[in-house]
Amino acid sequence: MVFSKYFDYVFKTGDWQKAIRELITCPKDFQKNLDSNIYDCESSFKNHEWCFPAFDLLPMEEYKKIHPNQIEFSVQRGCVFNCPFCSEKFKISENKTYQRDPEEIVKFIKENPGYYYYFDATTFTQNRQWVKELCEKLEPLNINWRTVTRINQIDEEIANILSKAGCDKIGFGVETFSKEDQIKFNKPMTPEIVKKHSEILSNEGIIPRAFFILGLPGQTKEDILETQKKIEELGIEYRWKEYIPFEKVLSAKTIEDFQIFERSIFPKHQIKGLSQDFYNKLLAIER
């Protein structure tokens, strides 16, 4: 495996994406830059260095079986929040976001027309000026797209701007409606907050979609059923995602350690009172 020699470094460096790219494309430069510590947190990707999907190298037929007419690519990385269950802070430790150049996004879409676009982001609406600049350039293209953000980063002005630019769906992490867990993870996304901001989106023709986590430390079957009941009462699309203990991933010293993690930890859960079968069924929900 090409990364095994550098496993620990590549996944802990502040700029692991740049390191991986150069390890693949130019190993000599990678080793030289590794020796001079060029991949630290201060040497983040410049806008023009962000890659787009390499359609000629990817198994596109397999991808199209899942999303027949969708293209997904990253438009933002980094995060100003500190959710302990999120992998973003392990990728970029700084409390800031980096946005892709709007001109580059528009250029890529023009070169690849006719798709439904998924703009992968952490908190798409965090940088309001960037959102306004990007949406102004997207509006004449007459395309449809979706993205993700933090639900309380949505207001009437931003929702209107997104809608005019072709955004028709936004996903957002709620994680749980358990008050105890919300306090523990410092993310008080109550049903009232979700309802208020989801209505703002719906009024602009944008479909809100909530994400919840299965397997949060201490989570019980009762917590899950209560959360599911509340989101279904709100009538909002939702899906569950499995909890991944990233701190255990980072403790791996070799590729063999990581494989042990995959086999022994990741596929299982520790949710009191919840069978593995019911757990799998929850993960399969798409509403």
pLDDT band at residue 261 using 50, 70 and 90 as cut-offs: low
Indicate the average pLDDT of the chain. 81
More confident position, 271 or 232: 232
At 124, phi and psi to the nearest 5? -50, -40
Spatial contact of 217 and 173, defined as CB atoms under 8 Å apart: no
More confident position, 225 or 83: 225
pLDDT band at residue 89 using 50, 70 and 90 as cut-offs: low
Share of the chain above pLDDT 70, in %: 71
Tokens read off for 7:
């496993």
Least confident of 35-44, 109-118, 213-222: 35-44
- Find where tokens 């390890």 sit: 23
pLDDT band at residue 1 using 50, 70 and 90 as cut-offs: very low
pLDDT digits (tens, 9 = 90+) for 111-158: 999 999 999 999 999 999 999 999 999 999 999 999 999 999 999 999
Q: What is the CA radius of gyration of the chain?
A: 20
Superfamily of domain 44-239: Aldolase class I (3.20.20.70)
Listing from the earlier edge strand, what are the strands of the sheet with 70-74?
70-74, 116-120, 145-149, 167-175, 207-214, 237-242
Over residues 85-96, mean pLDDT: 70
* pLDDT for the residue numbered 81: 83
pLDDT digits (tens, 9 = 90+) for 176-187: 998 888 887 778
Over residues 218-241, mean pLDDT: 93
For residue 227, pLDDT over 70 is answered with yes
Over residues 12-17, mean pLDDT: 52
Q: How far apart are CA 165 and CA 159, in angstroms?
A: 10
* pLDDT for the residue numbered 43: 45
For residue 249, pLDDT over 70 is answered with no
Give the predicted TM-score (pTM) of the model. Answer: 0.78
Over residues 235-262, mean pLDDT: 73
More confident position, 285 or 116: 116
Burial (0-12, 13-18, 19+ Cβ within 10 Å), 194:
buried
Domain ranges within the chain, ordered by starting residue: 44-239
pLDDT digits (tens, 9 = 90+) for 43-75: 445 555 567 777 777 788 888 888 889 999 889
